[in-house]
Amino acid sequence: MSPEVDGRYAVLGAGSWGTTFAKVLADAGTDVCLWARRKEVADEIENDHLNSEYLPDVMLPARLRATHDADAALDGVTTVVLAIPAQKLRAHLEDWRDQLPRDATVVSLAKGVEMGTLKRMSEVVADAGAVDPGRIAVVSGPNLAGEIAAEQPTATVVACSDHDRAVAVQHACSTGYFKPYTNVDVIGCELGGACKNVIALACGMAAGMGYGDNTTASLITRGLAEISRLTVALGGQALTLAGLAGMGDLVATCSSPLSRNRRFGASLGKGLSVAEAEEANHGQVAEGVKSCDAIGELARRHDVDTPIVEAVSRVCAGQVSARDVGDELINRERKPE
C-alpha cells in the first residue's frame, strides 16, 4: 500500500541539508518534525526558529517543529528522512531500527558510499534499518543547502523503485522554489550524488592550483564518463546521469564556492594537508574524502576504469600531491572519447 501524500514526516539530522530539507517540507505544507543530535540545536530551532550554527541567516518556518528525542520525532510518521553523514548512518539506523514504522517510506539524503562494505546508502538503510528496498527513496540533485534555504529556485530528483512512493515524497516537498522530479533508478541517482563529490574534490584541487574553467569542464565531463560507466556496471541507467542527479549535481558542486567538497579540494590544491583542509572546512562534512576509496574499490571490483577517482583517493591518502596527480592525468594514454 502506498502512503498518504500528506502524511507526517520526521527528518533525522539537523545539519545544513537536514534543516534545509525540513524547511522545504514545512513550506510545502507537510507536517514535519526535525531531530537534532544536540539538545541546544533542537531547542533553538523549536523556540527561536533558527539553526545559527548551520544556517545563520535563515528564519525557519514557525510550523517546523524540532526535538532532541528520536522516539518522539518518529512517533506515528509515514515518512522518515535521513540526513546523517554517510559514514555515520549505519550506527544511527541500528539504534533507530525498532522505532521505524513498518510501512514508512525511508528517504536517504546522504551522498556517499560506505567504507568497508562498499554499500550505497539505500543498501545501508535496507541492511541496518531492516527496511524493504521498495520502501527506500533517495533525494539527489544540484542542491546546495544554502541556496535552497534562501529560497533560490532549484530542481531535484526523488528516486524510488516504487513510483507511487516517489510521487508521494515529490508532492510533500514541492514548493515555489523547490521542484522535485521522480525517477525509479535509485542506483543511478545514488551513484551520481556520491561520485560527484569526488569529482568536486578534483575540481577544487584544480582551482586551488590556479586553473580555470576549461580544466573544470574537462574534469566534470570526464568525471561524468567515469560515473556513467560505474552506474551501468552496477545495474543503473546511463541516462539518469544526463539528468539532475548526474550532470546537474556535477555542474553545481564542481563550480560552486559553497560546495564543501570543492573547498576541501581547493585547500589541497593550495598545498594544505588533509588535516589542515578539514580544519578549514569548519568540521562540516566533505563526503568525497571518505567515499573516494570505497568508490574506487567498487569500480575495481567491477572492472571499471575511474582514473579521476583513483587520483583523488591518492591525494586524500597523502600519497601524492594534487599537482603531481594532475600531471599524471593529463599524460595518460591518448585514446578516442
Ligand X SMILES: NC(=O)C1=CN([C@@H]2O[C@H](COP(=O)(O)OP(=O)(O)OC[C@H]3O[C@@H](n4cnc5c(N)ncnc54)[C@H](O)[C@@H]3O)[C@@H](O)[C@H]2O)C=CC1
Ligand Y SMILES: O=C(CO)COP(=O)(O)O
Contact residues: ligand Y, CB under 6 A: 111, 142-144, 197, 200, 249, 252-253, 259-261, 287
**Residue 71, number of CB atoms within 10 A of its CB:** 11
DSSP state of 4: P
Q: For residue 303, what is the DSSP state? A: T
Residue 260 CB, shortest distance to ligand Y, in Å, is 4
Cell readout for 57 is: 541567516
User: Which residues are known to be catalytic?
Assistant: 196
Comparing CA positions, the residue from 89, 94, 16, 97 lying closest to residue 58 is 16
* Contacts of 264 by beta carbon, 8 Å cutoff, 6+ apart: 201, 204, 277, 278, 280, 281, 286, 288, 289
Q: How far is the CB of 169 from ligand Y (least distance, A)?
A: 17
Name which of ligand X, ligand Y, none residue 88 binds, using a CB cut-off of 5 to 8 Å depending on partner kind.
Answer: ligand X
205, 269 Cβ separation under 8 angstroms: yes
Query: With CB cut-offs between 5 and 8 Å by kind, which of ligand X, ligand Y, none does residue 142 bind?
Result: ligand Y
Cell of 119: 554499500
> What are the binding residues for sn-glycerol 3-phosphate?
111, 141, 196, 249, 259-261
Helix (H) and strand (E) counts for the chain?
15, 8
- Nearest alpha-carbon partner for 240 in 169, 154, 141, 172: 141
Residue 110, contacted partner among ligand X, ligand Y, none, CB below 5-8 A by kind = ligand X
Q: Which residue's C-alpha cell is 531492516?
A: 130
CB of residue 146 vs ligand X: minimum separation in angstroms?
7
Q: How many residues does the chain have?
A: 337
The rounded distance, in Å, linking the Cα atoms of 138 and 117 is 19
d(CA 227, CA 312): 14
Question: Which CB, 105 or 108, lies closer to ligand X?
Answer: 108
Q: Which residues bind ligand X (CB under 6 A)?
A: 13-18, 37, 54, 83-86, 88, 109-112, 143-145, 284-285, 287
- CB of residue 100 vs ligand Y: minimum separation in angstroms? 25
What's the closest the beta carbon of residue 287 comes to ligand Y, in angstroms?
6
Nearer to ligand Y, 228 or 253 (CB): 253
Binding residues: 16-17, 37-38, 54, 111, 141, 145, 196, 249, 259-261, 285, 287
Please choose which of ligand Y, ligand X, none residue 77 contacts, taking the beta carbon within 5 to 8 angstroms, the exact cut-off set by kind.
none
Residue 253 binding target from ligand X, ligand Y, none, CB below 5 to 8 Å by type:
ligand Y
Q: Which is nearer to ligand Y, 26 or 252 (CB)?
A: 252
Q: Which residues are annotated as a binding site for NADPH?
A: 16-17, 37-38, 54, 111, 145, 260, 285, 287
158 contact partners, CB below 8 Å, separation of at least 6 = 107, 137, 138, 139, 166, 169, 170, 173, 180, 181, 182, 183
Nearer to ligand Y, 142 or 307 (CB): 142
Cβ(70)–Cβ(96) under 8 Å? yes
In the complex with ligand X, the residue whose CB is nearer, 88 or 179, is: 88
Q: Name which of 72 and 150 has its Cβ closer to ligand Y.
A: 150
Partner touching 174 among ligand Y, ligand X, none, CB below 5 to 8 Å by kind: none
Which residue is nearest to ligand X, using beta carbons? Answer: 15
Closest distance to ligand Y from the beta carbon of 279 (Å): 17
Asked if 167 and 152 touch (Cβ cutoff 8 Å), the reply is no
